[in-house]
Homo-oligomer: A and B are copies of this chain.
Amino acid sequence: MPSIRVGAVNYLNSKPLVEGLTEFAGDLDLSLDLPSRLADQMAAHELEVGLIPVIEFLRAESYSFIPNIGITSHGPVLSVTLFSRVPWKDVRTVSLDEGSRTSAALTRILLEHRHRLTPQYRQLPIDEPAEAVSTDAVLLIGDRAMKACLPGFEFAYDLGHEWNEWTGLPMVFALWAVREGVDLASSEVAFAQAKQLGLRRAGVIATREAAALGLDAGFCRRYLTNIIRYDLGPRELAGLRRYHELAADLGAAPRGTNLVHYHRPHLVESRQR
């Protein structure tokens, strides 16, 4: 049986979803990489399945997703923060972390749709310290960003919280995308098994990962257990649909992408697209 190539972002919050994944299904070949590279590898047919940011899922237009598994927040997310020198209403210039297009689009959604602003954007190069930016606000994301304190910025807006407060819905950051026509066969269940194991081993994962990240193990456990949520049910999908509409309005995602659950191709006669 040929192996199924699986890619995931190498972030702390993805660890519980890949815990033991290759042990539950021997034909899965797992690699960890940057979000943008994963999307490219999916497009180039170098991966069959990818734990990818939702904006990449929407942009690809042709992927389905494994049901009930996602990286989401229902309030503060702690790892996606818009640091600002001024309150929302006065933000005129914004630096955007190159790391995630999903959070960059979320920033635009909140600025342009929620607060009806039309600020100027620039990219924050990965090697430029955020403290040094001259813009009113700077978006930081991911593991490195969790450690950012930036006392010089009076405001630190948690975009998971801001999204939830505005829409009343969870924010979905990533999900398991499956390339069109791929048959996971019996390996499909491994993704659910890995998630279940990962959630129960959150303390072990936190202990293991904290030192390499330069973060406190207790904080990592709270982040994985009490902040990030891994279910993808009706509420989360409603949040994802709302995000999709708003991102499409800004031209940050194509309008037509359907959200389709993965089904084994031979089990369904016609797959809705």
In the complex with contacts A156-B202, A200-B154, A149-B76 CB distance below 8 A? no
Bound-complex Cα distance A219 to B150 (A):
11
Interface members, chain A 69-109 (any B CB < 8 Å): 74-76, 78, 81
In the complex with contacts A156-B221, A219-B219, A226-B156, A206-B76 CB distance below 8 A? no
Bound-complex Cα distance A154 to B204 (A):
9
Chain B residues with CB below 8 A from A113, complex form: none
The stretch of A24-32, A47-55, A210-218, A244-252 in contact with B is A210-218
Copies in the assembly, this chain:
2
Chain B residues with CB below 8 A from A202, complex form: 156
Q: Are A149 and B220 in contact (CB under 8 A)?
A: yes
Q: Point out the residue from B154, B156, B218 that lies within 8 Å of A222, measured CB to CB.
A: B156
Chain B residues with CB below 8 A from A254, complex form: none
Q: Are A216 and B153 in contact (CB under 8 A)?
A: no
Q: Are B216 and A219 in contact (CB under 8 A)?
A: yes
Jot down 13 A-B pairs with beta carbons below 8 A, ordered by A. Answer: A74-B75, A75-B76, A76-B227, A78-B222, A78-B226, A145-B218, A149-B207, A149-B210, A150-B203, A150-B221, A151-B201, A156-B202, A156-B225
Supplied contacts A76-B76, A147-B217, A147-B218, 18 more A-B pairs, CB within 8 Å: A81-B226, A146-B216, A146-B222, A147-B216, A147-B219, A149-B217, A149-B221, A150-B221, A151-B201, A151-B203, A151-B206, A151-B221, A152-B203, A153-B203, A158-B226, A215-B216, A216-B216, A216-B219
